[in-house]
Chain A
Amino acid sequence: MSWIYLGIPYAGTVSVPLYLFRIPAGFPSPAADHVERQISLDELFQIRAPHVYLAQVEGDSMRGAGIHSGDILIIDRGREAQHGEIVVAALNGEPLCKRLYRKHGVVILQSENSAYPPRHVLEGDELAIWGVVRHSVRDHGL
């Protein structure tokens, strides 16, 4: 099964029922009184919230964090990014997904792949933190 189970944003909730009983003609289902609310990935990932956005990854510099090319990021814009968090940031106008290092006045955008050196944010660079990555979703290609 592929993992693109998020549905079309704003097209209603996609939910997975916990109990699937046909309506019996004879005895009522003994589970009828125990049916719970359905599981909703929309709720889990909060993708209907006004501050949550989706984006798609291009490139493999965050492989070590389990974020691969083509994955869908679930980004929280409502939250102030902290040191050590994975962020989406616009560096000189280009949107990047990196781990944010911010300590003692030093700001670095770190990759999780040895092929990509850390990018020190220097004077003259323009950095805008766009949001914090809360989850990522991968299609395992079935």
Chain B
Amino acid sequence: MSWPSGALSATACAIMASEPVYALIDCNSFYASCERVFRPDLAKTPIVVLSNNDGCVIARSYDAKPYVKMGAPWFQIKNTLRRHGIVAFSSNYVLYGDLSQRVMTLIESMVPACEVYSIDECFADLTGLSGDLTQLGREIRSRIMRCTGIPVGVGIARTKTLAKLANHTAKRLQVHTGGVVDLCENYKRDWVLRNTAAGEVWGIGRRLNAHLEQMGIKTASDLALADPATLRARFSVLVEKTARELRGIACLNLEDAQPPKQEICSSRMFGTRLSELEPIRQAVATYTSRAAEKLRAQGSLCKRIRVSIRTGMFNPNEIQHAQGALVELPYPTNDTLLLTRAATEVVGHLFRPGCRYSKAEILLLDLRQPGEYSGDLFAQEQPVASQNLMAVLDSINERYGRGTVRSARVPVAPDWGMKREFLSQSYTTKLDQLWKVACR
């Protein structure tokens, strides 16, 4: 992490000299917890959240876990849900995004520095803080609970990998730990390492774990004690770092802002199968404008766009077809209109009558920052007029909501749109969907 450069006083030096301490704050069953915030009637009802198009289970509340497997297809478990009184929701990313932002803002206000790791996880650097860190963890937990209704666990340790493990332990032994575990002391750390399988460690995937087991590395403790050189030689420097981190040697710092992405993808299953070109064009236009928004949000331009469509791949009675095309753009651009024109035109060449398409994907490639490309003197550049137009478009859409101004190809409520039969309200982002509170 980086301290403000002007602050290199005697105290700052003392802080830098002290051993690093990291925390991982992680929301419990985040999506399911979000669905409960404005539904106090569901406080004790098990909940599952379904993927886009209500396909399969992507999140479960704690009390739904014994009955439903992660990834179970919705149509297979419908009856199980009914039998156990489990309530299903379509994923409401608008709501989750808003509550996530609230949680992260609260964390930022309580720690010296942090790194938002995912929608429901945040690393914090607690290095040099005096006082009882477990107590700080409890304060973070209770403040987030009070201000948002989202339960979190806090793991504290000397490295990020150990903090993740501490957090895992806090969750696993919730009753004993009160949701906060501090592994800064060696005997606690060693106890947890001995009692955790190597496969539970951050960054150790299933396949890797199988290899480790062959080497006799079964627990996190075995991994911590393994020879670093061997790990690097047999696997990678990342596995070596993981082992060092388990021993308490910090190898990973808080990441600052993410570097701009090298490619941007926007893809989605259609709510229904499409066998005509026009609605597919609309979908392609819709995904393209979303991708272009992401492109402008990170301040990049793109020189190539890849468009692909495919049918379902599992029904043996249907024609299976997938095709993509790469379009070279005249100049590096972030202009929704130009990108849409390119994408909708090329999809006309990909489309084959008689196929029932299920998905389209837009990939923006060859991304660069403005000024980074050095075309020759006569290379064409994006006209200033399109830049201005896009700036106006973004500011209007930011103020009045996405899609207020859009390409005419993009419909408001398409009939090929995502299936979200169990969608909760946008309680926090739409004035016409506010939470209703009774005065009776």
Contacts and interface: CB of A to CB of B under 8 A. Distances in A.
| Interaction A to B | yes
A6 B439 CA distance: 22
A76 B60 CA distance: 28
B102 A50 contact: yes
B147 interface: yes
Nearest to B402: A11
Contact of B430 (A8, A50, A69): A8
B438 A10 contact: no
A117 B105 CA distance: 41
B106 to A, nearest CB: 5
A100 interface: no
Interface string B208-232: 0000000000000000000000000
A15 B401 CA distance: 17
A33 B399 CA distance: 29
Interface string A58-97: 1111100001010011000110100000001010011111
B440 A61 contact: yes
Nearest to B101: A50
A11 B105 CA distance: 17
Interface string A92-108: 01111110000000000
A50 B434 contact: no
A55 B429 contact: no
Nearest to A129: B146
A41 to B, nearest CB: 14
Contacts of B437: 55-58, 73, 88, 95-97
9 contacts: A6-B431, A9-B428, A50-B101, A58-B439, A58-B440, A59-B438, A61-B440, A93-B40, A95-B40
A54 B437 CA distance: 10
Interface in B98-157: 98, 101-103, 105-106, 143, 146-149
B41 interface: yes
B400 A8 contact: yes
Contacts of B40: 90, 93-95, 128, 130
B154 to A, nearest CB: 17
Interface in A1-48: 4, 6-12
A50 B98 CA distance: 9
Given A8-B401, A11-B400, A77 B149 contact: yes
B256 interface: no
A63 to B, nearest CB: 8
Contacts of B436: 55-56, 58, 95
What's the interface size class on A, roughly? 35 or more
Interface of A: 4, 6-12, 50-51, 53-62, 67, 69, 72-73, 77-78, 80, 88, 90, 93-98, 111, 116, 128, 130
A73 B431 CA distance: 12
Interface centre among A8, A50, A67 (most CB of B within 10 A): A50
A100 B253 CA distance: 48
What's the interface size class on B, roughly? 20 to 34
Nearest to A92: B41
A111 B401 contact: no
A12 B397 CA distance: 10
Given A77-B146, A88-B437, A93 B41 contact: yes
Contacts of A10: 98, 428-429
B41 A50 contact: no
A59 B146 CA distance: 27
Contacts of B106: 50-51
A12 B398 contact: yes
A11 B401 contact: yes
A120 B104 CA distance: 38
A78 B43 contact: no
B431 A8 contact: yes
A97 B401 contact: no
A130 B145 CA distance: 11
B93 interface: no
B235 interface: no
A97 B439 contact: yes
A60 B438 CA distance: 9
B435 interface: yes
Interface string B408-439: 00000000000000000001111100111111
A50 B144 CA distance: 9
